[in-house]
Amino acid sequence: MTQHGPVCVGIDPHPALLAQWGLADDVDGLRRFSLGVVEALGGRVAALKPQSAFFERHGSRGIAVLEEVLAAARDAGTLSVLDVKRGDIGSTMAGYADAYLRDGAPLAADAVTLSPYLGFESLRPALDAAGAGGRGVFVLALTSNPEGAQVQHAFGVEGSVAGQMVAGARAENAADDGAPLGSVGLVVGATVGAAVRDLNLDLAAVHGPLLAPGVGAQGAGAAELAEVFGEARSQVLASTSRGVLRGGPDAAALRGALAQAVDQARAALAG
């Protein structure tokens, strides 16, 4: 983030963007779009975040393209965050960990998103695999969709559900002695408003990265980020997709849109 700025660009090849780029909604269009983003932005951005669903919808050939994209990002020296939001129990969760967090796995990424709503500890295989392999995870804590509050804001005997996710990440990262940030991050929407304060969440104490959709052109500026993240702003990796991807297919236009997003995020996070 220090070198390229606190921005992660999503690779979201949904049909409308493919059409905007003049590409067909098929595997060839998917490949040209996704690898075009990597070619234009690889080595120039803190991280790239492919959204697995848009590859999965094309079946096995789409997954093969996702493998190419992850390999291309790796070759460009750019970190990848695979947005898969996986969450399960026991051997099934171990299977997901093996698929996405094992060295040499075809779909190995530098980090993945995880859904903890079968219980934070259900993520154990992925947490352990990430820590052992020098990779990372981003656990959903406070998402920006309105429906998220139904679960994430709920209270039980151990406090709010979101608070338990924050506490879980904090405990995991406490073992990463000497690391600038731990391997367990959280997904916290930049547009959740007063939720962090209302739920009494200490995001700075997590000692991990905070993946934040909604920064800059998507609606959240300096005032909103101060309200949501407070002293944790230095941990924020702002996530944007369409705001940058709409600049394509021209590589120079994509890079210009990225530069604008980085400027907006830096200004918003500077406080």
Residue among 85, 153, 242, 246 flagged as catalytic: 85
Closest residue by Cα to residue 244 from 88, 40, 28, 98: 40
Within 8 A by CB and 6+ apart from 117, the residues are 87, 140, 151, 161
- The secondary element (H helix, E strand) that includes residue 135 is none
> What is the crossing angle of helices 59-75 and 27-41, to 10°?
10
Task: Compute the distance between CA of residue 6 and CA of residue 45 in angstroms, rounded to an integer.
Answer: 9
- Are the C-beta atoms of residues 255 and 206 closer than 8 Å to each other? no
- The secondary element (H helix, E strand) that includes residue 247 is none
The amino acid sitting at 68 is E
Task: Compute the distance between CA of residue 56 and CA of residue 126 in angstroms, rounded to an integer.
Answer: 21
- Are the C-beta atoms of residues 167 and 208 closer than 8 Å to each other? no
Torsion angle, alpha carbons of 260, 261, 267, 270, to 10: -140
Task: Compute the distance between CA of residue 167 and CA of residue 151 in angstroms, rounded to an integer.
Answer: 16
Annotation says 49 is catalytic: no
Task: Compute the distance between CA of residue 7 and CA of residue 217 in angstroms, rounded to an integer.
Answer: 12
Catalytic site positions? 85
